[in-house]
Amino acid sequence: MDVWCARRSILLGLEPFRMAARVRPACRSGAPAVRRHTTHTHTNGLKEMAEDTPTATELNLEKELADWLSFSEQGHAAYGRRKLVPAELKFKDAVAIVEKLCKEPAYKDDEELKSKLSKSLNNLGAVYHAQGKFGLAEEAYQKALDLKIQLFGDEHFETAPCYQNLAAVHSARIQYDKAEPLYLKAIAIKEKHYGKDSEELLTPLKNLLMLLDKMERKEEAEPLRERIKNLEPPPVNPGDIWQSVQLIKKDN
């Protein structure tokens, strides 16, 4: 397994992103959309429609979030092609945009922006991790985790990926004593949310197993290995796939 694959195997990957619901789409002409509301006036007994244009602050927010989305998409695309330097630059740009917005008085308590900042920091941390910049990765992951805890609390399932990624970078730095409790925390959160028999547990369990193997704690590793084996879906028989295809064709 090459270095890239080895590192990706212990990461959950990049976090998804989406535009905030409050951001209005652009018109077909490309101009920002305007808000419309109905005012009930009584001119000749008819209702008239009135519209007001967005404020300069609202227009600026829409532009900034559109730029954030563009940088995030470009970062994801570059990361997927293993172009880590361009990915780093794009995710840095995405982080800078949301950090700036979060510092503005009008948006300092905006939870959607804080959530976007957490995702962008996590994605930047993933790139640093893949580059072997473990100190920077740890810093980005920790900031992402702190924001998630601030938004959801430390037992929410949204925090589990951050605990896993932070644990992974500690493991890469041979800081096993710091990595283990973070993996256990992620496992406990996922068990609480998904149940103890969920396939969602496979990633943190496998990461913990890798850690125990590195620490040569065989007695603890073996039952964990068995648990992982029981959770993994059975391998697909190629013959079953062919039979299904044949049946579908026959039915059609």
Model pLDDT for residues 204-232, shown as the tens digit of each residue: 999 999 999 999 999 999 999 999 999 99
Q: In terms of pLDDT, which residue wins out, 126 or 240? A: 126
**Quick one: how far is CA 94 from the chain centroid?**
14
pLDDT of 28 > 60? The answer is no
Number of domains in the chain: 2
Mean pLDDT value of segment 15-24? 46
Whether residues 1 and 123 share a domain: the answer is yes
Whether residues 159 and 205 share a domain: the answer is yes
Whether residues 164 and 129 share a domain: the answer is no
Whether residues 10 and 103 share a domain: the answer is yes
Q: Is residue 65 part of a domain?
A: yes
Q: Is residue 11 part of a domain?
A: yes
Strands (E), 31-185: 35-43, 46-52
- Asked if residues 207 and 10 have their Cβ atoms less than 8 Å apart, the reply is yes
**Which residues span the domain enclosing 127?**
1-15+57-134
CATH of the domain at 203: 1.25.40.10
Whether residues 163 and 75 share a domain: the answer is no
Whether residues 169 and 107 share a domain: the answer is no
Q: Is residue 21 part of a domain?
A: no
Q: In terms of pLDDT, which residue wins out, 23 or 98? A: 98
Whether residues 171 and 214 share a domain: the answer is yes
Whether residues 93 and 159 share a domain: the answer is no
Whether residues 5 and 92 share a domain: the answer is yes
Q: Is residue 142 part of a domain?
A: no
- pLDDT above 90 covers a percentage of the chain that reads 63
Mean pLDDT value of segment 129-133? 95
pLDDT of 199 > 70? The answer is yes
Which pLDDT tens digit goes with each residue over 46-82? 444 444 555 556 668 889 999 999 999 999 999 999 9
CA distance 177 to 174: 9
Whether residues 101 and 199 share a domain: the answer is no
Q: Is residue 212 part of a domain?
A: yes
**Least confident segment among 55-59, 71-75, 114-118, 172-176:** 55-59
Question: What pLDDT score does 202 carry?
Answer: 94
DSSP state of 8: H
- Asked if residues 163 and 189 have their Cβ atoms less than 8 Å apart, the reply is yes
Q: Is residue 50 part of a domain?
A: no
Question: What pLDDT score does 243 carry?
Answer: 56
Whether residues 130 and 157 share a domain: the answer is no
Buried/exposed code over 209-228 (b: 16+ C-beta within 10 A; e: otherwise): bbbbeeeeeeeebeebbebe
pLDDT of 150 > 50? The answer is yes
Whether residues 127 and 161 share a domain: the answer is no
Question: What pLDDT score does 226 carry?
Answer: 95
